[in-house]
Every structure is written in C-alpha cells, then in structure tokens.
Amino acid sequence: MTVPHAVHATEPAEPPFSPTLVEDMLKIFDKGIRAHQLYNHNNPTYIKAVENARRAFDPVWEQTDELVLQVTETQLVWSGTVVHAQPDKASDSLPWLLFKDGLRELTLVEGFEAEEMERFFAIIPKVRHAQAHEDDLLTLLWEQDFQSLRYRYVELSDAVAPLEVGDDPGKWPTVAGAAPEPVATLIDETREEVEESKAGEATQESARPSGLIKMEDFDSTLYFLEANEVEYLKQETTREYALDLRRLVVSALLDIFELQVDPLVRTEVGSDLEALVLHLLSAGQFSSVAFMLREIDGTMERARELRPADRERLGKLSERLSHPDSLSQMLQALQESPTLPPKEELAQLFAQLKPMALAVLLEFIDQTQNADLKPLLEAAAERLAQSNTAELVKLVRAPKTAVAREAIRRAGGLKTAAAVPALAEVLAGAAELSLRSAAVTALTEIATPGALGALEPALTDDDRDVRISTFRALAARAHRPALAKVEAIVGGRGAKDADRTERIALFELYGTICGDRGVPLLDGILNAKGGLFSRKEDPELRACAAIALGRIGTAAARATLEKAVGEKDVIVKAAVSRALRGGGA
C-alpha cells in the first residue's frame, strides 16, 4: 500500500514504550536479511536466523500492533528516537538502501513476520545488486502487494523537491497536498551552484596561459578524491586481494561444524572438508591444508555434543595425510617438481604430520637429491623423532636399510637411551656393514654405561673399520668393564693379525683402561728376550706395546720402557722415546 508525497507532520512525542525493544528487533531483522543473502533456504543457519527474526517481533507486538519507522540516509527513527543506525552509505546499509530509492517511511503491522517477512528478505538482495535497467525497490514492493507492510515514498524524478527546505531528511510538509512555499528548491539551488562553478572555471580558463596543463583537466568526476582517500582505497584494495579465500571457506565450514549440533549438518561438513583437503593438496595449497588441520584440532576441543564418529572422521584427516602411501606420492611429486612451493608452506604442512609418517620421511631423506627439500624433511623427522621415541626405536630395526640407517643416526643425535637395546641388537646381529657402523657411532654419542657395554661385541666384529671405531670409542670414554675382552685380543692372535692402524687403536685402548695390571703383558711384548731358538716380536707390535705403556704412565710402566732405551730397532726406539716423553702414537 502506498501513499503520495505530502502527509501531515507530527511533533515528536515521548516513546510509548522502551526503544530498546525496537532496536533489538531491528538488529536481528538485519541479520535475517544477511542470512537470506548468504545461505540456501534449506540451510539450518538460515532457518535459525529466520526463526530468531520472527521471535524478535514478539516483545514489540506485546506493546503495540503497528510499528512506524521514519527512514533517513543513515538511520531508522521510531517516535523521534534512532533505533537503527549505519553511518556508511553502502549497499549493505539497510537505511541507505531504502532511502536512495525514495522510501521515507516504513510501517510494519502485526502479522508481518508470519508470511511477508521472507518475501521482504528476498527483495533486499535484489535491490543491492540491481543494475540501472532493473526494477528499483518501490517497483519490487508494489509487485508483492504487501498487506502487513505499508510505506511512504517520494518521487525522485519530480522537478519539485518533496521535502521542506531546511528540514531534516524524512520530515514531511505540514499540510497534505499543499503547494511548496515560493523558495528556491534544493534542485534549483544545486543547479545554480553548478552554473556558478562552471562560470568561474570558464573565467579562469580564459585567463590561463596557452599550453599550461592542470590536474583538473583529467578529472572525470565533479569531486576529485583527496590524496589520503586515494591512499585509503589502495590500502583497502591491497588488503582485499591479500585475503586467502580458501582459509575463509575452511573457517566458515568449521564454524558451522562447531555451532550446529545436528548430526546431518556435521556429516555434510565432514564430507566437504575431506573433499577440500584433496582439492587443496592437488592445487599445491599446503599452507591452507596445514591451517585446516590445526583448526580442526581446536574445533573438536570446543565443539559440544560431538559424536565419536565425527571426532574420528575429522581426526583421521591428518592421519590420512601421514599415511605412507599418500605421503610417499606427495613427496615423490615434490622431489620431481622443478620448483618447490614456499618453504614456509611446506614447513607448516610437515608440522601436522603424525608419527606414522616418520618412516617415509627417513626413507626420502636418504634418497632425495633435492637440496631445498632435504632440510625440510630433516626438520620434520627431527620433530617427530623427539616427540615419538617409541616410533624411532621401532624403526631402528626396520627392514628397509635406508630407514633403519636414518633412524640409527637420529637415535644417536638425540642421545636416545631407550634405543640402546635395539642398537645392540643391530650391532650383534648380521646387519649390513653400514648399519653396524652407524650403530657404533650412535652408541658412542649416547655414551651411557649401557651404550658403552653394548659396544663390546663389536671389539671382534668381522669388519676392520667397525673394530677400529669401537676401540677408539671405548678409549675415549675409558670404558674399563671391557678390559677382559681387550686383554684377550692384545694377548691373542687378534693383535698379531691386525694392520698397523688397528694395532695402534687397540693398544691405545688397552693402555687407557688396564693400569699396572697390563704392565707384565706389555713388558713381555716389548722386552721379550731373544735366544738361539727364540725371536723377538714384530717391531710394529713392540712399538704398539710401548705406546700402551706410555698411556699407562705409572712408575712400573716407565721402568718397563727404560729397559728398551738401548733398543737398536728404529721403529721401537722411536716409540719408546715418545712414550717416555709422554707423547702419543
């Protein structure tokens, strides 16, 4: 129902009831309009918003059966009181949307919310996005033929201004149908100002020297933007383009999951998130995937009435990413890619991996030749190994050599004492040479009494390098519990069959841990008496005995060394001389 231009004016009176009721109702009413624009009509969020809007009218209808709202550019006014204000004249401002199409008064009658409210909701988005050739607000309202909604409007195309000059926007003339007073209308005044401005510009133009260019020549609008306004627009444009829409979508889905307890809604959101993970991974949006996995953990902590099935479904998203098959495919693609995504994005993604991903990471660390990818894999493996010792220990005995070798290295680097039994098993078993060597290094780095004890079987290892590494490791730690085994090697065939480097390492170890107990054995090697049917030991073996005595450094050891001072063999003589001076090998 419409009423023509002029109506009777009334003086503001005291509101018949608290304006707060109207303010609250309009806030919820505006949210309902936004929900209509954002969601489908079968969406639970939209249904809830409409129900809230309907209930918001109940307190108002308890006080009155009709609500009359005056419309200005930025406000809705009821009984002289502002009950809804939006200072910006933008398309999302309800007052401005009504005002710009000529609406000046809106009357809602009890029962409007029952059927006609949703029809009104449908009109507002159309007006917000209407093109110049499309219907305006008044036309759309007229088409609906509302029974519980009335409105007053002005014809914007009239040559005569419908409002009184000098009055506030939305105030009506005092007499219905009266002709306007003989004063200049707003349109006339504006026309005169524009004509005066053009006349002044023409005068300045005639006085301006020829060939001089002014900035105003390039202005395409009547009012040119100030410098600070241009800068503001640039900043807002940059900020808008910098927004990650993918993260906004993820956040919206998780908000719905958290707030909506309906199982059907949560099931649908879970399906959307699963599909979105695959889409983001295929698009290389690794930081968005990491963001989603982090936010899922927080959402599951906050969500109420969370079913075990929903918790398991969302919790498995990160586990699926960490599964060996899917993770291997992703790492293989990254390894073969000519360019990697930003390191920060990959680091964020790898930070969400679960313990089951450790084996795959260790395998690719050993295989990859990509210098940019390898540090990221090592950092991720380090994090998982530190926080999941049991998984690391299990991988020490992994069937894949590359995985086991990297796990052994990590166990040594992290000084993981819990890995000592597994490392001892590798060292004492029939593992590959590379694994046994890595196990010796790891046990040396761990260096607990148990770790050093686990090294003792390697004293007689089949590989020379493993034996030498073990001799030096035990000597560096002065591991005396190994004395009996070392002494048996020094006095047996092991020392005689060894090469020079191994002999030196063996005798240095023996001299470090034996003390005076070993002097008789070493004296027998260094100062063995010759005769008709006997011969002295190999000079290199005697020189090694002198080195061991120098390591002992006691009075008995020096006395033994002094017996060989007159030795004629150059090698033995030099070793004895260095030992007496306190020199090394």
C-alpha to C-alpha distances, 508 to 62, 473, 515, 547, 549, nearest whole angstrom: 101, 11, 12, 7, 9
How far apart CA 296 and CA 286 sit, in angstroms, is 15
How far apart CA 396 and CA 410 sit, in angstroms, is 9
In sequence order, what DSSP letters do the residues of 425-472 get, joined into one string? HHHHTT--HHHHHHHHHHHHHH--HHHHHHHGGGGG-SSHHHHHHHHH
- In tens digits, the chain (585 residues) has pLDDT values of 444 444 444 455 688 888 999 999 999 998 888 888 888 888 888 889 899 999 999 999 999 999 999 999 899 999 889 999 988 877 778 898 888 888 899 999 999 998 899 989 888 888 887 777 788 888 889 888 898 999 898 876 544 444 444 444 444 443 333 344 443 444 455 556 556 665 665 566 555 565 566 655 555 554 567 888 888 888 888 888 887 788 888 888 888 888 888 888 888 888 888 888 877 777 777 777 788 888 888 888 888 888 888 888 887 777 777 778 777 877 887 777 777 777 777 777 777 788 888 888 888 888 887 788 888 888 888 888 888 888 888 888 888 888 888 888 888 888 888 888 988 888 887 778 888 888 888 988 988 888 888 888 888 888 889 889 998 999 888 889 988 888 888 888 877 788 889 889 989 888 888 988 888 888 888 887 654 444 566 888 888 888 888 888 899 988 888 888 887 888 888 888 888 887 544
Element (DSSP H or E) covering residue 83:
strand 81-85
User: What is the reported pLDDT for 39?
Assistant: 85
CATH number for 498: 1.25.10.10
What domain count does the chain have? 4
User: What is the reported pLDDT for 52?
Assistant: 92
Same domain membership, residue 454 and residue 529: no
Nearest alpha-carbon partner for 277 in 302, 303, 242, 253: 253
Instruction: Give this prediction's pTM.
Output: 0.50
Same domain membership, residue 484 and residue 436: no
Helix axes 401-413 and 420-428, enclosed angle (nearest 10): 130
User: What is the reported pLDDT for 314?
Assistant: 80
Among 130, 153, 176, give the residue marking a domain's end: 153
Same domain membership, residue 19 and residue 118: yes
Same domain membership, residue 312 and residue 450: no
CA angle 366, 409, 369 (to 5 degrees): 20
Query: Does residue 496 lie within any of the structural domains?
Result: yes
Nearest alpha-carbon partner for 357 in 334, 335, 331, 337: 331
Query: Does residue 382 lie within any of the structural domains?
Result: no
Same domain membership, residue 255 and residue 113: no
Same domain membership, residue 483 and residue 445: no
Same domain membership, residue 21 and residue 58: yes
Cβ-proximal residues to 459 (8 Å cutoff; 6+ apart), any chain:
467, 470, 471, 474, 482, 485, 486, 489
Same domain membership, residue 6 and residue 148: yes
Cβ-proximal residues to 570 (8 Å cutoff; 6+ apart), any chain:
none
Among 153, 182, 207, give the residue marking a domain's end: 153
In sequence order, what DSSP letters do the residues of 273-321 get, joined into one string? HHHHHHHHHHTT-HHHHHHHHHHHHHHHHH-SS--HHHHHHHHHHHHHH
Nearest alpha-carbon partner for 35 in 239, 247, 256: 256
Q: Is the dihedral of CA 85, 90, 93, 95 positive or negative?
A: positive
How far apart CA 498 and CA 52 sit, in angstroms, is 91
Cβ-proximal residues to 547 (8 Å cutoff; 6+ apart), any chain:
504, 507, 508, 511, 575, 578, 579, 584, 585
User: What is the reported pLDDT for 77?
Assistant: 93
How far apart CA 530 and CA 540 sit, in angstroms, is 17
- Do the bridges between strand 149-153 and strand 81-85 make them parallel or antiparallel, or are there none, so unpaired? unpaired
Query: Does residue 182 lie within any of the structural domains?
Result: no
Spatial contact of 547 and 566, defined as CB atoms under 8 Å apart: no
Spatial contact of 385 and 358, defined as CB atoms under 8 Å apart: yes
Same domain membership, residue 141 and residue 9: yes
Same domain membership, residue 550 and residue 483: yes
Domain extent, residue 254, equals 246-322
Query: Does residue 562 lie within any of the structural domains?
Result: yes
Same domain membership, residue 137 and residue 88: yes
Query: Does residue 27 lie within any of the structural domains?
Result: yes
Same domain membership, residue 505 and residue 423: no
How far apart CA 399 and CA 33 sit, in angstroms, is 63
Query: Does residue 412 lie within any of the structural domains?
Result: yes
Among 301, 322, 343, give the residue marking a domain's end: 322
- Structure tokens, 472: 């030096």
Query: Does residue 22 lie within any of the structural domains?
Result: yes
